[in-house]
Homo-oligomer: A and B are copies of this chain.
Amino acid sequence: MSELLVDTNPLPAGISGRLRDQLTFLIEVDRLKTVLRQSPLAAAPRRENDAEHSWHLAMAVVVLAEHADEPVDVGRTVQLVLVHDLVEIYAGDTPLYDLAARESQQEREEAAAARLFALLPADQSQRMRELWDEFEARRTPEARFAKAMDRLLPVLHNWMARGGTWLAFDASADHVREHTSSINEASATLGTARDHVIAEAQRQGWTAG
């Protein structure tokens, strides 16, 4: 995959410089819509893609930010979730419960970030990189809440699917609790809701024990 999407039909020559780079990037990130996650949709019998997921996370930030234990800047938290999965355009999705794939994840995503963000003008490339780094490092309240949303929505999707990836990846209730602990770390209220969902899912047999 050495070609950019826009290379198949280059923009008119009248569009140049900074704007040409920005439009090239915006066309290239269309690929995020083709990166499939393991999560099943609640609204249709198919898997979710990263662009849909990123939009849903942004909505979750807007609706649930009041439950963050530490106050968060909603606008900045939304930007974190909008860009947090961009590297998967080249690195692919790494399922939460696929431990083998998770070993090589960092290296693959580093290479993808370097390649993708370089399409933008230098200042914006750096800004995207900073947003991605902030999300990954989880050192700010915004990054911690963004990560909590990234763990909460799959819990809701698996609940609606009566098992979903919990059963597909043979994850026990304890394993699910361990991998979604960032919810409880960012919000006691949402953490309690998570606890209720996992406990009831376990009772129903929607986790692997």
Contact = CB atoms under 8 A, between A and B. Distances in A.
A184 B71 CA distance: 38
Interface residues of A, number: 62
Nearest to A194: B15
A197 B11 contact: yes
Interface string A4-40: 0110110110110001001101110111111000000
Interface in A127-180: 153, 156-157, 159-160, 162
Copies of this chain in the oligomer: 2
A41 B33 contact: yes
A60 interface: yes
A62 B48 CA distance: 23
A63 B156 contact: no
A25 B160 contact: no
B55 A19 contact: no
Contacts of A160: 5-6, 8-9, 27, 30
Main SS of chain A's interface residues? helix
Going nearest first, the 6 A-B pairs with the smallest beta carbon separation are A75-B75, A55-B55, A14-B196, A30-B42, A30-B43, A12-B196
Interface of A: 5-6, 8-9, 11-12, 14-15, 19, 22-23, 25-27, 29-34, 41-44, 48-49, 51-52, 54-56, 58-60, 62-64, 67, 73-76, 78-79, 82-83, 120, 124, 153, 156-157, 159-160, 162, 189-190, 192-193, 196-197, 199-200
17 contacts: A14-B192, A15-B196, A19-B67, A23-B193, A26-B64, A26-B156, A27-B42, A27-B160, A29-B59, A30-B157, A31-B43, A33-B43, A55-B82, A58-B82, A75-B79, A78-B79, A78-B82
